[in-house]
Amino acid sequence: MRAIGIGLIGWGTVGCGVIQTLRDNAEAIENRLGIPLKLLKVADLDLDRPRPVDVPRELLTTRVEDIMNDPDIHIVVELMGGLGAAKTFIKQALENKKYVVTANKALLAHDGNELFEVARRNGRSIGFEASVGGGIPIIKSLREGLAGNRIDTLFGILNGTANYILTRMTEGGLSFGDALREAQAKGYAEADPALDIEGTDTAHKLAIASAISFGTPIQFDSVYTEGISGIAPLDVQFGEEFGYCLKLLAIARNTDGRIEMRVHPTFIPRDHILAGVSGAYNAVHIHGNSVGNIMLYGMGAGMLPTGSAVVADLMDIARDILANTPERIAPLAFLPERLSLIPIKPISDISTCYYFRFSAVDRPGVLSKISGILGANEISISAVIQKGRQTEGSVPIVMVTHEAVEANVRKALKEIDELNVVLAPTQTIRIENQETTHRD
């Protein structure tokens, strides 16, 4: 074998990053592998639009079959995204006895369990480092670097778009809409940003990382998800007064035989290690029973960071091909027959601290009514801020609670929001303090 042949499906931003990385680092790659990685075909439906990285015309095709049927192509890289056609092409590649690399976190979150089984039946493997955290080696760290640990906690910032928006709302005082438009202008947000701002993209990544961490099949449908589109500058400001910074957090824990998986806006202390992760950067904090607390930080997206992760997978698979050891490491770290379907802890059972902002009528006795309902539902108040009138007829009453059970919080807020002195639904943001996010 003179080279490992690569076929690329999807000549977009990440595809350009892969091609550029293969070119820029060809000598280092060959020195590490002892054999070159050679790009043989690039398939895309649109071959004419301008791109930042050019490809020789003879390598271009609009026919995926030209990749699938080429015996010199050993690894197929799927970078087209989406669920339907991408799944079909990955299955076809595996059934044609080709290895696969993908950055498609949505597809893996929905259908990864099935695709990993197809790979196993065909004696091949799927590399997917770029699907979680872009250029940050989260998958490799969980599957290999931390393989000797029992992972009990994983949480972090896994979406650069949302983090950029919240950073600008915090540091620049922007509204959500203005921060989103700025993110789009800078290329950090898509024209349709729904997957990012509503938390779905983060939930895809959390489902994959949690499965690897805890030894369970991917359970995306069980991830509780809230986005950031309902966050107002007023809440960011009040959070700062309490000493908090707002982030869209992915949180996973394995405790008492149940897994907690949730994505939502979260207040964290200003001195928390994640509070300093700003702009489009990502970071993930992991606790293992032997290693303790570690954090991985870097660019979670982008042409070259994501391209770097794809090429790392290509190199790992190339080593397996050369050693004739397909699927040397199980896709979800645990042997498939040792994966167990661990029950998911419903959001109603979680216990954490809360931030509430009530829009109330400006009259005596309102605060006592609200606090009375909270107390009756076993919710203890830690701190209160009451400002002067902000809009005609209402004043904001802002509270931070001690730890409370979510089911009790929902019951109490339903009763409070039905009071004739409360003029709008209560804004609720969960809080993670140092003691709940760190284990020693």
pLDDT tens per residue, range 319-330: 999 999 988 999
11 carries a ligand binding annotation: yes
Q: Does a structural domain hold residue 105?
A: yes
What confidence score (pLDDT) does residue 436 get?
52
140 carries a ligand binding annotation: no
**Domain count of the fold of the chain:** 3
117 carries a ligand binding annotation: no
Q: State the catalytic residues.
A: 205
Residues 353 and 384 in one domain: yes
CA distance 286 to 265: 19
Residues 48 and 174 in one domain: no
Beta carbons within 10 angstroms of residue 154's beta carbon: 24
Q: Is 30 helix (H, G, I), strand (E, B) or coil?
A: helix
Beta carbons within 10 angstroms of residue 95's beta carbon: 14
Which CATH number covers residue 424?
3.30.70.260
pLDDT band at residue 388 under the 50/70/90 scheme: low
Residues 286 and 386 in one domain: no
β-strand partners of 359: 396, 424
Which CATH number covers residue 128?
3.40.50.720
What confidence score (pLDDT) does residue 1 get?
80
Residues 50 and 121 in one domain: yes
Which CATH number covers residue 245?
3.30.360.10
Q: The dihedral of CA 212, 215, 217, 220: what is its sign?
A: negative
pLDDT band at residue 363 under the 50/70/90 scheme: confident
190 carries a ligand binding annotation: yes
pTM of the predicted model, to two decimals? 0.95
| Host domain of residue 241 | 150-299
Q: Does a structural domain hold residue 183?
A: yes
Residues 160 and 254 in one domain: yes
For every residue of 246-275, DSSP letters joined together read EEEEEEEEEETTEEEEEEEEEEEETTSGGG
15 carries a ligand binding annotation: yes
Beta carbons within 10 angstroms of residue 50's beta carbon: 5
Residues 308 and 290 in one domain: no
Q: Is residue 158 a contact partner of residue 284, using CB atoms and an 8 Å limit?
A: yes
156 carries a ligand binding annotation: no
Residues 52 and 166 in one domain: no
Residues 104 and 193 in one domain: no
What confidence score (pLDDT) does residue 187 get?
86
Quick one: average pLDDT of 137-143? 97
Give per-residue pLDDT as tens, 187-205.
889 889 999 999 999 999 9
Q: Is residue 236 a contact partner of residue 170, using CB atoms and an 8 Å limit?
A: yes
Indicate the residue type of 19: I
Q: Does a structural domain hold residue 440?
A: no
CA distance 201 to 211: 16
Residue where the block lists tokens 């964290």: 268
Q: Does a structural domain hold residue 438?
A: no
Residues 322 and 413 in one domain: no
Residues 97 and 201 in one domain: no
User: Residue 79 pLDDT more than 60?
Assistant: yes
14 carries a ligand binding annotation: yes
Who has greater pLDDT, 390 or 275? 275
Residues 357 and 267 in one domain: no
What confidence score (pLDDT) does residue 18 get?
98
Q: Does a structural domain hold residue 145?
A: no
The two tokens of residue 5 are 């042949």
What confidence score (pLDDT) does residue 435 get?
53
CA distance 8 to 59: 10
Indicate the residue type of 346: P
Q: Does a structural domain hold residue 154?
A: yes
Q: Is residue 245 a contact partner of residue 270, using CB atoms and an 8 Å limit?
A: yes
Half-sphere CA count of 394, side-chain side, radius 13 A: 15
* Chain length of the chain: 440
112 carries a ligand binding annotation: no
β-strand partners of 219: none
Q: Which residues of 318-366 form beta strands (DSSP E)?
A: 351-361
Residues 155 and 285 in one domain: yes
Q: Is 60 exposed, middle or buried (0-12, 13-18, 19+ CB in 10 A)?
A: middle
Report the Cα 78 to chain-centroid distance in Å. 19
Give per-residue pLDDT as tens, 19-52.
999 999 999 999 999 999 999 999 999 999 999 9
